[in-house]
Amino acid sequence: VSPNLLAVHPSLGVENVRDLIALLKTKPGQYNYASGSSGSPTHLAAELFKNMAGVDLVRIPFKGTGPAINALLGGQVHVMLVSSSSVMPHVKSGRLRALAVSSAQPTALAPGLPTLTASGLPGFEAYSFFGVFAPGRTPPAIVARLNAEILRVLNRADSRERLFNSGLEYVGNAPPDFAVIIKSEMSKWSWLIKTAGIREE
């Protein structure tokens, strides 16, 4: 999994999530957020933030995460929810300010940062996850063998280190657990897409 960071341009002058929400509520529609294409992780995570925080942020879409981050760095946009690996170098250099992580628990990928849940948005969770899939009719014995072999490699210290250095946290669960995550994520984002009126561009 790859958690997102709630990052802002330092010129906003906020130090934490509560300050940001208070600022956005004083001037609805006057601040914006950067995202990739419609339905991208950066778009959906920001819309979830808007919904749960009850704020009016204007979306500024870009053709990809790179151009969106560049706009945030340049101060053309104010806020972005984006993968930690994409923005941590800019946070460390002081060019961006990270306010919170979007995972359910704090992460070593962004040490010291609180979660959005602990920052006043209980239940907020938005992350990218990666997994291995097989055709639907793959025999259970083959699925079990593949799962065991993949976990064997992922459990090696060098594998975990490579994942961590790429901005990823290792989960390594069983197929039924992964299926529960997929169903839960589909339900959550389907609801948000309908609620926010998100359409294909």
* pTM: predicted TM-score of the whole model, two decimal places: 0.90
- Please determine, for residue 181, whether its predicted confidence score (pLDDT) is greater than 80: yes
Tens of pLDDT, residue by residue over 51-66, are 999 999 999 999 989 9
Task: Summarize the confidence of residues 72-83 as an average pLDDT.
Answer: 95
- Please determine, for residue 40, whether its predicted confidence score (pLDDT) is greater than 80: yes
For residue 6, what are the β-bridge partners? 81, 100
CB 192 within 8 A of CB 184: no
CB 1 within 8 A of CB 168: yes
